[in-house]
Amino acid sequence: MTQENSRNPLVPYGLVKAHMMMSFVVILIVVIAGLGYSMQFIDLYPLKDIAFFSPGRVRMVHTQAVAYGWLANIFFAIVLYMIPKLTNKPILSEKLGWFVFWAYNTLVVLTVVLILAGFGQAQEWGETPVILDPFIALVVVLYVVNVVTSIWRGRHEPYYVTIWYVLAALIWTPLVFVMGNFLPEFVFAGTGGATISSMYIHDLVGLFVTPIGTGMVYYLLPVLMRKPLFSHSLSLIGFWGLAFFYPMNSVHHYLYSPIPMWAQYASIIASVGVHVVVYTVVFNVIATMASDWKKVTSNVSLQFFLVGALSYLVTCIQCAVQVTLTFQEIIHFTDWVVGHSHLVLFGTFSFWAFAWIYYLFPRLLNTPIYSASLTRWHFWLSFIGIVVMDIDLLAGGLVQGFMWKSLVPFIDSVVASKPFWWVRTLSGVAIFAGTMCFFINMVMTWKESRLPKTSEVPALDSELARG
Ligand code: HEM
């Protein structure tokens, strides 16, 4: 643990910083696009007559930027930091790392521009223009080769659970990307294509975001708590549970569709199996924290971890309910699902990413976080925003579902949804304001890091994170 405060020559710090700073820019684009698009629902979207910013395109930018701009960049950064430390071996090549950084982010920028220009691919979550897909796949493979080399070189020592999670994600991610972006459009037609598409939607979260996110928590939590993880065995049960159950879940996105019923039933059973995975993670996190709650209340990274773990628990309970056929009759196609998506990708995985950023960014720059009060504003505005947004969308989804089931005219359900959409936009304003606090805080920290140091910077976690 003392090593945490000293520079490790194996870690490519410049690359970690570059990916991390890129993620700060993209999360801002994510919330601006989300907020803008939400205004369309309450007839306030200002740019709807400009084709380049038409709301449908902005929605695609919002979701693609979440997955491939924000989460991918921050995960790339954290993996590049964690893996050489855990394996005690360097990545293949820092030069290759820089090539990947520039190539990948050029593709992210091109994705945004081409989607806005009207070249999005008609695949849910695969809206990156077809022309860019092969290049994205290639660059991701290069990233994988770079990091897997470090894991391969370290194979003579036992792997900590984080390495298992990251290794699995690195192998799965390019496969998932290629499967989702090419097979439904070019190989399998009809329900076969839909089945593959559901696997892509689900596995992007389950086999890319979830394992890296969980691996990140299992690395940093013991460091911050200065205690080992509550149970290493439990973490491994969670890992194998994820590997076994997650890929079979996917058809639950298309319940009541023409996909064969046996596949739909199998996906429901596997979804229940995934609960084991979630409970192991949540239990392990809370049990590790329980050894010293005082520390949790005084460290902002631990608070982000805690909220993330509780959001994960809630999403899982939601999932247990929403995956049943009875409940699907009501909530399918409603805002309930959108609430669920935000709780997973923002409430859980983005919160865990923020926990890491408040820990790592000051260390990368050797400069304390600029403002403790901006940090607190970021935490509370994001927390209140996501809680209100989730409750609001779940409630709105139920209202929509029951109205559709009772066969009232569709437009009545639109009118009834308006108050919920207003609340969603207001909660979005809170998230946007929180993200601005975060962005300004990070930019100012970076600016301060460039000033000549007047005194030696303290090296303790709490002092650096000022949280
Ligand atoms: C200012 C804050 C935000 C607002 C107002 C907002 C709003 C929206 C809206 C209006 C949609 C489209 C819903 C629909 O088509 O019916 C959406 C989709 C989505 N947003 Fe956000 N969003 C915000 C922030 C975020 C953040 C920070 C994340 C994740 C890091 C995120 C993740 C998603 C996801 C995953 C979807 C797809 C939902 C689905 O298709 O089920 N959003 N958002």
**Cα(338) to centroid of ligand 1, in Å?**
7
Per-chain mean pLDDT for the chain: 93
Mean pLDDT of 364-376: 97
Which residue, judged by its Cα, is nearest atom 8 of ligand 1?
A: 34
Please write the tens of the pLDDT for every residue from 307-325.
Answer: 999 999 999 888 888 899 9
Q: Is residue 209 in some structural domain?
A: no
Give me the pLDDT at residue 7, please: 84
Q: Which domain holds residue 29?
A: 11-157
Mean pLDDT of 36-54: 96
Number of helices (H), then strands (E), belonging to the chain: the values are 18, 0
Helix 300-322 / helix 261-289 crossing angle, nearest 10 deg? 150
Lowest mean pLDDT among 31-35, 232-236, 245-249, 258-262: 245-249
Does a structural domain hold residue 143? yes
pLDDT of residue 277: 83
Within 6 A (CB) of ligand 1 lie: 30-31, 34-35, 37-38, 59, 62-63, 66, 337-338, 341-342, 345-346, 350, 428, 431-432
**pLDDT confidence of residue 464:** 43
Give residue 371's Cα distance to chain centre. Answer: 25
- Tokens read off for 329: 């009759």
384 in a structural domain: no
Integer Cα distance of 96 and 147 in angstroms: 10
Rounded to an integer, the average pLDDT of 351-379 is 97
Closest-lying ligand 1 atom to the alpha carbon of residue 338: 41
pLDDT of 465 over the 60 cut? no
> 434 alpha carbon to ligand 1 midpoint, in Å?
16
Question: pLDDT (tens digit, 9 = 90+) per residue, 149-200?
Answer: 999 999 999 999 999 999 999 999 999 999 999 999 899 988 999 999 999 9
Nearest CA to ligand 1 atom 23: 34
Mean pLDDT of 54-71: 97
332 Cβ contact partners less than 8 Å away, ≥ 6 residues apart: 255, 256, 401
Tell me, yes or no, whether 121 lies in a domain. yes
DSSP conformation letters of 57-113: HHHHHHHHIIIIIIIHHHHHHHHHHHHHHHHSS--S-HHHHHHHHHHHHHHHHHHHH
**Does 324 fall in a domain?**
no
**167 found inside a domain:** no
Could you tell me if residue 253 is inside a domain? no
Distance CA 84, CA 89 (A): 5
pLDDT higher than threshold 60 for residue 419: yes
**Domains: count for the chain:** 1
Is residue 15 a part of any domain in this protein?
Answer: yes
